[in-house]
Amino acid sequence: MALNQRELIQQVSSIVRSRLADQGAGHGYDHIERVWNTARKLQSMCGGDLLVIELAAILHDIGDAKFHDGKERSKEFSVEILNQVGVDAVTIEHVAQIVDNISFRKRESAESLSLEGQVVQDADRLDALGAVGIVRTIEFGAAFDQPFYAPTSVLPNVVPQKTGIGHFHEKLFKLRDLMNTDGGREMAKSREDFMRAFINQFELECAGQG
């Protein structure tokens, strides 16, 4: 018997949950669940096919290159899982196209995105902002031995170190202007404002004020 849409989504999410079980916080199922929730919220504001949006949100990092020897395998794994649960071919193709084209890394060479793709891309990018974005940056630094902050008073001839706060400026504060949907832009603005307030307070405390 064919599964109804809700059952189908639940089945895909439990497959993804078990496959990502050994991936750390920030890159594990917690990220997927947040992107899924945000994508549903954005869809309620701007529309788009909810089944495609939910499936693409749930599957978008299933074969993240960081965990597959540098080879991005999300599209391949998505097609495999969707076939396994009996999703129709048109939906599989649409979800696979989204999963294959939303990453920040691929933005120069990506194919254009449908409304559904734009929603999922905004939801994924929003998860790098706000309180969650701050925590994920700190977790990344802890995993890759990068400090969150380095004093500005470094010695001459010392190459400034890459830092988490540096990453805010190099990438994260650019995301707001890259949002596709009005709802995404609005959420990105409030999350970015929160991060800027956090940095201000952080720097005040480092300077012995605040």
Min CB(90)–ligand ADP separation in Å: 26
Residue 191 near which of Ni ion, ligand ADP, none (CB within 5-8 Å, type-dependent): none
Interface residue with Ni ion among 43, 54, 61, 134 (CB under 5 A) is 61
Helix (H, G, I), strand (E, B) or coil at 4: coil
- With CB under 6 A as the contact rule, the residue among 128, 165, 175, 179 that binds ligand ADP is 128
Please report, as residue ranges, which positions from 80 to 109 form the binding site for ligand ADP (by CB under 6 A).
Answer: 104
DSSP states along 127-189 = TTSHHHHHHHHHHHHHHHT--S---S-PPTTPPPPP-HHHHHHHTGGGTGGG--SHHHHHHHH
The reply on whether position 164 binds ligand ADP by CB under 6 A is yes
Say whether residue 130 binds ligand ADP (CB under 6 A): no
User: Considering the complex, what minimum distance in angstroms separates the CB of residue 29 from Ni ion?
Assistant: 11
Q: Is 167 an interacting residue with respect to ligand ADP (CB under 6 A)?
A: yes
| Other residues' Cβ atoms within 10 Å of the Cβ of residue 81 | 21
Judge whether 59 and 20 are in contact, CB under 8 Å.
no
**Contacted entry of ligand ADP, Ni ion, none for residue 28, CB cut-off 5 to 8 Å set by kind:** none
Is residue 122 close enough to count as binding Ni ion by CB under 5 A? Answer: no
26 half-sphere exposure, CB direction, 13 A CA radius: 17
64-73: Cβ within 8 A, 24+ apart: 64/23, 64/27, 66/27, 67/23, 67/27, 72/103
* 184 is an interface residue for ligand ADP by CB under 6 A: no
Provide the minimum distance between the beta carbon of 176 and ligand ADP in the complex, in angstroms, as a whole number: 14
How many CA atoms lie within 13 Å of 11's alpha carbon, on the beta-carbon side? 16
Say whether residue 192 binds Ni ion (CB under 5 A). no
In whole angstroms, give the CA distance from residue 85 to residue 117. Answer: 21
Q: Examine residue 183 and tell whether it contacts ligand ADP (CB under 6 A).
A: no
- 124: contact with Ni ion by CB under 5 A: yes
Nearer to Ni ion, 32 or 82 (CB): 32
Match 């990068």 to its residue by tokens.
146
Query: Which residues of this chain interact with ligand ADP, rule CB under 6 A?
Result: 26, 31, 61, 64, 104, 124, 128, 133, 136-137, 140-141, 146, 164, 167
